[in-house]
Amino acid sequence: MNQRFQNVGEWIDSRIGFSDCVWPLLTHIVPRDARWWYVFGSATLTAFIVQVISGVALAMAYVPAGDQAYESLQFITNQAPFGSLLRGMHAYGASAMVALVVIHLMQVYLHATYKYPRELNWMTGVVLFFVVLGMAFTGQLLRWDANGVWSVFVATEMVARTPFIGQSLADFLMGGQTVGGSTLTRFFVYHVFVMPAIIFAGVGLHLFLLMRHGVSEMPDPNRPVDPATYKQEYEARLKKTGVAFWPYAMWRDVVFSTFVIAVIVGCALVFGPPALDHAPDPASIDANPVPDWYFLWYFAVLSLLPPNLEIWFILGVPVLGFLVMFCLPLVSNKGHRAPSKRPWAVGIVIAAVAGFLVLTIYGYLEPWSPDFGVSELPASVVGVDQGPVFEGAKLAHEKGCLFCHTIDGHGGHRGPDLSNIGQQLTRDDLVIRINNGGYNMPAFASSLDTDQLSNIVDFLLTRSDDDAPTGEGG
Amino acid sequence: MSESNETNCQKGDASDRRSFLARLTMWLTGIIGALMVLPPLAFVLSPLFKKRPADWRPVGKVAKFKTGETVLVNFEDPSPEPWAGVTAETAAWLRRVDDTEFIAFSINCRHLGCPVRWVADADLFMCPCHGGVYYKDGTVAAGPPPEPLDRYHVRVRGDEVEIHTAPVPLTTTPLSADA
């Protein structure tokens, strides 16, 4: 019996060629010094496989039609056995994939692995990185809740800014001149057919190039890359000190990938999938479109920029960002690889990470957004319960002052804090400012009568740190 | 069978035959490719060339709207696909100015298209996304929007108020933009 199995095995191997073709690839010689640094690429691939499998399963119940997508997602989330777990895995898998591809990219950049002869490894990687971001964006949109629909509007408005072809790009994206039945089906096709196909092909090429040029060594400050001699020296060193990828290097990849999948499934089990927003009604104005975490930084950028710079960021960040990254190895493909010899590279990575964190926090807090839900000022803040000051405090809420201004911790953050405004501006200043508006403040002259204005000013003049309820030393 | 023919062929026109076959293969591959790609491409690009018909949509009886008030009205896109469902809906902020005049503002912020809200007490339109604010007449009061709110055409037919449907208002970059 055993003999028979062995024969079948040998027959298959001789026809397929596992021993001849695949085994040498698995056991190719890699440098022994990389250790844990090189696990992020394979972990990104693991996350991608999670996405493919969970995505295929989700597609069996998801209906990519404007009128039913939302209902089908509710069915997947609330009724289908394992549906919630699956959506969770797809969502956390997406987060993992974005995070890991960025970490992989930063590691490769810091170690300057993009230099000779691995320029194309980097360039295919940059294409893959942007396609992964495209997958993240379209994936958020396929949730097809209020947030998803409004994401289409935002994306459409952004591409519409492109000179010459903006209108055509926008119509192409929406599948017409309004968001409607054709919009979701198009994004579904990008997310499920077009971009995954590019990723499959791209990963194939990326891995082929990895085999062709070999795994890079850890950078050595004393050994800059010289294209004339690099290959021979690399081969010679590898022969002397290299180890077989399977299993001496691969076990680390597998250990880390196990950790990644454990986190993805664990998060899906514990936290569940992202909650669905309201129904996808473009007529509903109660939506507050916010991107998923990976684009919050960009959301913040778009709020904080002066309008005349905006066009450069809306179009420049994706287009120039891609070109700069893509062309990097064409500009710099030799010389030092060690971070210690490349202070600018280290600086760029630190600045990028810091910028990402700060802008993400800003994007999360949305201080520029009016706080529509703010409630009336409590009596403890107002201090009186009748008269002009009391009326003024009520008006500060009714007229929307508190949407943008905070008073003793109540209100939005778009405009300056007014908790101490009575100490900072005179009555005349306040009247002028409220009537005429100012930088980023509307003029209220036409929407307040004289009495109302007078009441609001009376109220504001009582605002000083001294009477703040939390103030110390009264 | 035709040994002599074959040797002739190999001897005499080998390179001609080779280049002919190579060229034939390339041309036919190109034709196969074009036939495969062009119809789907035309299909995918068709929305760029299709003019959607605009249409008047009733949004309510004149008497329903009070003079001076700005209210949200819903209406349907022209010729929506049967499977569009709720996504075919769109809305406008409709204000009755006097007995006969109405104004309808698009709900899309001119910055990046988010839905603006009418804050009646403050007489302002406010956008939740990036903090755009518009005055009552739709002009920009604060924030990043580069242009005033878009307006729909409105008419009164009999006792019915009607809005003329329109594409999503896009803020495009003018070709003369310098800097």
CB-based contact, A399 to chain B, within 8 Å: yes
Does an H or E element contain A444, and which? Answer: none
Phi, psi of A406, rounded to the nearest 5 degrees: -95, 140
Give every residue of chain A whose pLDDT is below 70, as ranges: 466-474
ipTM value of the model?
A: 0.87
Give the E-state strand segments of chain B in sequence order.
Answer: 56-61, 70-76, 89-96, 102-106, 117-119, 124-126, 133-135, 140-142, 151-152, 154-157, 160-164
**pLDDT of residue B5 exceeding 50:** yes
**pLDDT of residue B137 exceeding 90:** yes
Q: CA of A168, closest CA in chain B: separation in Å? A: 6
B30 shares its domain with B107: no
Q: What is the DSSP string of A167-225?
A: HHHHHHHHTSSSSSHHHHHHHHHIIIIIHHHHHHHHHHHHHHHHHHH-PPPPP-TT--B
pLDDT at A360: 96
B15 shares its domain with B38: yes
Q: Give the chain B residue whose CA is nearest to the CA of A371.
A: B128
B152 shares its domain with B108: yes
**pLDDT of residue B4 exceeding 70:** no
**pLDDT of residue B82 exceeding 50:** yes
pLDDT at B8: 52
Question: Band of the pLDDT at B85, cuts 50, 70, 90?
Answer: confident
B62 shares its domain with B108: yes
Selected for mutation to probe chain B from A153, A184, A313, A434 (highest B CB count within 10 Å) is A153
B71 shares its domain with B42: no
Write down the CATH number for the domain with range A31-365: 1.20.810.10
**pLDDT of residue B53 exceeding 80:** no
B22 shares its domain with B91: no
Number of domains, chain B = 2
The residue range of the domain holding B19 is 3-49
CATH code where residue B148 lies = 2.102.10.10
Question: Band of the pLDDT at B130, cuts 50, 70, 90?
Answer: confident
**Cα–Cα distances in angstroms (integers) from residue A285 to residues A299, A413, B36, B169, in the given order:** 19, 22, 43, 16
Helices and strands, number each (H, E), in chain B: 2, 11
B139 shares its domain with B160: yes
Q: Give the chain A residue whose CA is nearest to the CA of B120.
A: A399
* Domain presence at residue B110: yes
A369–B88 CB contact, under 8 Å: no
B147 shares its domain with B114: yes
pLDDT at B86: 87
pLDDT at A90: 98
A370–B90 CB contact, under 8 Å: no
B16 shares its domain with B95: no
pTM listed for this prediction = 0.90
* Domain presence at residue B77: yes
- On chain A, the residues whose CB falls within 8 A of the CB of B150 are none
B144 shares its domain with B67: yes
Quick one: DSSP state of residue A438? B
* Domain presence at residue B83: yes
Q: CA of B47, closest CA in chain A: separation in Å? A: 5
- Domain A379-467 class in CATH: mainly alpha
- On chain B, the residues whose CB falls within 8 A of the CB of A359 are none
B139 shares its domain with B61: yes
* Domain presence at residue B175: no
pLDDT digits (tens, 9 = 90+) for B169-178: 888 877 554 4
Question: Band of the pLDDT at B77, cuts 50, 70, 90?
Answer: confident
Task: Tokens for A257, please give them.
Answer: 């990938």
pLDDT at A122: 98
